[in-house]
């Protein structure tokens, strides 16, 4: 039986979870892996957890180096790796039955366009309202910018937006969040599922 203090992947954990995941410490960091069961068929609960774990790992593989580094930065100061934090958020948003899903936000590229502005490029799996949270590097997020679902033409589409009126020569942190909502946009969503998504923390500096 697992010993868990806090949410899945979040704090102290050891042992097995539903005989599907094994939690242990490695170099002082909480780590999870599949629990290998010799012989026998998995229970429905094990199958559901294994399916969510597999889907989350597939999503993580779509992240580029900058995306993974952003999750690593967000996990800094916690007993977690960036991978573990991503898995926690993705699996929390998913149901094995497909009624809800994690909206992968990836390919984030922040390009300075002037001394006080940057262009942010990103890709989303489901078009949705995205909130860009902005703050000084190492500080709290103090500003939110909304990117509407109409900016994304279809599934797995790219969009960009500009952040202006920044301080020249300043270092900032950016996190993208898509709060829980129905997939699609307007009154005619193309998928009857609930989606939620978020990214790690991207640091950038103005010129």
Beta bridge partners of 34: 21
Query: Are 171 and 137 contacting, i.e. CB atoms less than 8 angstroms apart?
Result: yes
Give residue-wise pLDDT tens across range 168-184. 999 999 999 999 988 76
Share of the chain above pLDDT 90, in %: 58
Burial tier of 141 (Cβ tally within 10 Å: 0-12, 13-18, 19+): middle
pTM recorded for the entire structure: 0.80
pLDDT grade, residue 35 (50/70/90)?
Answer: low
User: How many whole angstroms separate alpha carbon 128 and alpha carbon 179?
Assistant: 9
CB neighbourhood size of 30 (10 A): 22
Share of the chain above pLDDT 70, in %: 77
- Residue 9 pLDDT greater than 90, yes or no: no
CATH superfamily, domain 103-205, is: Immunoglobulins (2.60.40.10)
Per-residue burial over 168-192, b = 16 or more CB atoms within 10 Å of its CB, e = otherwise: eeeebbbbbbbeebebbbeeebeee
User: How many whole angstroms separate alpha carbon 176 and alpha carbon 47?
Assistant: 31
pLDDT grade, residue 25 (50/70/90)?
Answer: low
Domain ranges of the chain: 3-93, 103-205
DSSP 155-206: TTEEEEEEE-SPPTT-EEEEEEEEEEEESSSTTS-SS-SEEEEE---EEEE-
pLDDT grade, residue 66 (50/70/90)?
Answer: very high
Beta bridge partners of 30: 25
């Amino acid at each position: 039986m697992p010993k868990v203090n806090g949410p899945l992947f979040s704090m102290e954990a050891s042992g097995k979870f539903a005989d599907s995941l094994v939690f242990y410490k490695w170099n002082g960091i909480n780590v999870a892996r599949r629990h290998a069961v010799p012989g026998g068929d998995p229970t429905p609960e094990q199958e559901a957890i294994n399916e969510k774990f597999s889907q989350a790992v597939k999503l993580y593989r779509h992240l580029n180096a900058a995306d993974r580094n952003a999750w690593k930065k967000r996990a800094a100061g916690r007993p977690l790796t960036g991978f573990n934090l991503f898995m926690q958020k993705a699996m929390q948003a998913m149901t094995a039955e497909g009624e809800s899903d994690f909206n992968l936000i990836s390919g984030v590229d922040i390009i300075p366009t002037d001394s006080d502005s940057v262009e942010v490029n990103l890709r989303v799996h489901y078009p949705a309202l995205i909130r860009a949270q902005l703050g000084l590097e190492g500080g709290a997020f103090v500003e939110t910018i909304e990117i509407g679902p109409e900016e994304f033409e279809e599934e797995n589409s790219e969009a960009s937006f500009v952040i202006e009126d920044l301080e020249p020569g300043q270092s900032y942190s950016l996190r993208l969040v898509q709060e829980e909502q129905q997939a699609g946009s307007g009154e005619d969503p193309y998928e009857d599922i609930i989606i939620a998504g978020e990214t790690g923390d991207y640091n950038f500096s103005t010129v």
